[in-house]
Amino acid sequence: MAIMNIRKIGDPVLRSKAKEVEKISQKTIDLIENMSNTMYEADGIGLAAPQVGVLQRLFIVDIGNGLIEVINPKIIEENGQTIMEEGCLSIPDETGAVVRAKEIVMEGYNKEGKKIKIEADGLLARALQHEYDHLEGNLFTDRVIDEEKLEKEINE
């Protein structure tokens, strides 16, 4: 299958809200396969359809435990907060500290059309939230915090 072009910051598609997947077709399954080949080739742990120029609500993640594909995801629960350094295939050579929910519950569908529920914490929770943001037209750089300022607030 194909390696796709990953859109970079400045491309307007990255700031566009993705549309629901109406029907999971062979085209959807091919897109997921091409996206996974692209993500692995780029040494990423996640990739959302808008990052390859497709405004559909689907993404993939693999933090080392196997590929997870999520179509039409919804975050239904968030608990706690955690700060971690993030990067993005669409924003090469840039990282920043981002506050995200420590634990989440997400629902969606897999490529077979089966409803899935993912209870995640740690890196998986972060990756799911990061990719979900792409579907909303948001980038991690929108969420980067000033760690020194935050530490100062905590110590006051």
The residues carrying an active-site annotation are 131
Calculate ∠ Cα 8-9-15, nearest 5°. Answer: 110
Give 155's strand partners: none
**Rounded to an integer, what distance in angstroms lies between the CA atom of residue 40 and that of residue 62?**
9
Q: Output the CA torsion 32→33→37→38 (10° steps).
A: -30
**Rounded to an integer, what distance in angstroms lies between the CA atom of residue 16 and that of residue 34?**
21
Phi, psi of 119 (to 5 degrees): -100, 120
Determine the 3-state secondary structure of 148 from DSSP.
helix
